[in-house]
Amino acid sequence: MRPGISGVLDPPLRARPDATAVIGRSGELTYAELDAMADRSAAALWQMGMRPGDRIAATLPNDLDAVIAFHGAMRIGAIWVGIGQALAAAEKQQLLDACDPRLYLAADDVMEEWRSTMTSASPAPEVEIDVHAPAGIAFTSGTTGLPKGIVHSQHNLLLPGEVLVASRGWDSSLRKGDCLPLTILNMMVLTTLLTAQAQGCCILMDRRDADGVAEWVEKSQITVFNGVPAQFHDLVTTKQVDPARLASLREVWSGGGDCPESLRSRFAEIYGLPVRTTYGLTEAPTVVSIDPIGGERRQGASGRVLGHLLVRTRGKDGVLLPPDVEGELCLGPRTEGPYAGRYTPYLGLWKDGAVTSPPSLPVPTGDVGIVDPDGWLYVLDRLKVLIVRGGANVYPAEIERVLLTVSGVAGVVVFGVPDERLGERVAALIEPAEGAQVSLDELRSACAEQLADYKVPERWGRLDALPRNAMGKVVRLGLVDLLETAATPLEGSQSE
């Protein structure tokens, strides 16, 4: 069996090479075809000058090209970097500057060269793969608003899928559909890598609306669907679809934000399936805990911790706490059972062309919670000031940096306000400079130029002075109330 991600295809290649491995809008590939295309991709990338350790960035839709390019990059020991399609041009450039890729698969001419070279390139030389070397960079803005590149190895990317497949009893009948962007490194873990470990099929969904989800589920007979609360909200409110169209589903997962109990109940009432909760992290990577197979779940919990992880809490002094004691959630390897010692933390942060700041065990998550003695995990709050809007992470500092460049803005604080459909919407309170007039059009224009649409605040307010502590930092407690009761609405601001 080949080492690392190349080897993930070996069992299905031996057992069922003609079975469908992946389906996208442009077609489908059997395991034999996917393996051959991965070899061609590796050959093309090598001929285009890529070598082990080079960064290959990609901004690609959910379709076959993304999977083929990813597998090819892994076969030559390159480092994969997904750049989201929804990001503004300035945001994409910021990430490209941070990872300094040798190749960027995005522009039509580059993609055409890659596809053309695949048809004629000589096979790439056999590269000795170190499964613990850097293999992927997942960018998160962090609390500073600046890109933070989390570096994972091939070993890290393979382990979650292995554990999920085994713990959920999946086999070749698995047909897993995902509509979240493959440019998220976690989604590569949960699509082509996971389904290959089950010898099943991954379906790359290119629509996220209710009708689009139903179309994909019905057409491809998806058995497991991974979505976000906003999609489930649509499916049980104004955009209900015929439950018969979702009849093939056996599991539905909710990730990317809190899913209210009322929404779960309504979904189960209409579609006959529970919405299973997950908790995941870029740093993990991907799933940390999930509701188990069967009917058992606990209200308020984000499932049970997966078998390769030991999740503990720690206090402000860094001392680990007993079970059932609230603190910062931290990840470490399970010390007993079939996966004892298998978990390794992310390798560090990508900075100035190298991996820096390797984490120590246990790895802090920045989230506050509790893990009970039975392994059920409860996330109570975030240490990081993070907004989860419709399943997408929005970091306030990133938006605040943009708004502070607008003339007349002396101070700003960005935060989330509760929303029934999306979980949270983005709001901003502006403190004008003395005597200055702040234009809402200018604020929105600055955001539109520098940020993805989903990050642009939808609620705006003006305060003569933001609440600050003795150190001059904005006090975030009670900001939603301030927006509703004390702030003066900016002209043209939306109330919903």
pLDDT at position 394 is: 87
Question: 55: which strand partners?
Answer: 79
358 and 422 co-located in one domain: no
Which CATH number characterizes residue 226's domain?
A: 3.40.50.12780
280 token code pair: 């995941």
Do the domain assignments include residue 70?
Answer: yes
377 and 256 co-located in one domain: yes
pLDDT at position 294 is: 82
369 and 395 co-located in one domain: no
Total number of domains in the chain = 2
196 and 131 co-located in one domain: yes
pLDDT at position 487 is: 80
Domain boundary among 382, 400, 422: 382
Amino acid at 84: G
pLDDT at position 495 is: 41
Strands (E), 122-223: 134-140, 148-153, 175-178, 201-204
Q: What is the pLDDT along the chain (496 residues), one digit of tens a residue?
A: 899 999 999 999 999 999 999 999 999 999 999 999 999 999 999 999 999 999 999 999 999 999 999 999 999 999 999 999 989 999 999 999 999 999 999 999 999 999 999 999 999 999 999 999 999 999 986 555 678 999 999 999 999 999 999 999 999 999 999 999 999 999 999 999 999 999 999 999 999 999 999 999 999 999 999 998 888 888 988 778 999 999 999 999 987 556 777 788 899 999 999 999 999 999 999 999 999 988 788 888 899 999 999 999 999 888 999 988 989 999 999 999 999 999 999 999 999 999 999 999 999 998 888 999 999 999 877 776 788 899 888 888 889 989 988 988 988 999 999 998 999 999 999 999 888 889 999 999 999 999 999 999 999 999 998 998 654 678 888 999 999 988 888 865 444 4
370 and 400 co-located in one domain: no
Phi, psi at residue 311, to the nearest 5°?
A: -105, 125
346 and 401 co-located in one domain: no
Do the domain assignments include residue 62?
Answer: yes
Do the domain assignments include residue 492?
Answer: no
The long-range contacts involving 241-246, CB below 8 angstroms and separated by at least 24 positions, are 241/210, 241/211, 241/213, 241/214, 242/214, 243/270, 243/271, 243/272, 245/214, 245/217, 245/218, 246/214, 246/217, 246/218, 246/271, 246/273
213 and 335 co-located in one domain: yes
pLDDT at position 147 is: 81
pLDDT at position 443 is: 96
Domain boundary among 359, 382, 405: 382
396 and 366 co-located in one domain: no
- What length does the chain have? 496
Do the domain assignments include residue 475?
Answer: yes
Q: Which domain holds residue 475?
A: 387-485
377 and 439 co-located in one domain: no
317 and 223 co-located in one domain: yes
Do the domain assignments include residue 494?
Answer: no
Do the domain assignments include residue 148?
Answer: yes
Nearest to 26 by CA among 57, 73, 56, 66: 66
Do the domain assignments include residue 493?
Answer: no
Do the domain assignments include residue 495?
Answer: no
392 and 378 co-located in one domain: no
Domain boundary among 364, 382, 400: 382
Looking at the chain, the number of H-run helices and the number of E-run strands are: 14, 26
**At what angle are helices 261-271 and 229-236 packed, to 10 degrees?**
50
Which CATH number characterizes residue 407's domain?
A: 3.30.300.30
pLDDT at position 496 is: 40
Phi, psi at residue 212, to the nearest 5°?
A: -65, -40
174 and 254 co-located in one domain: yes
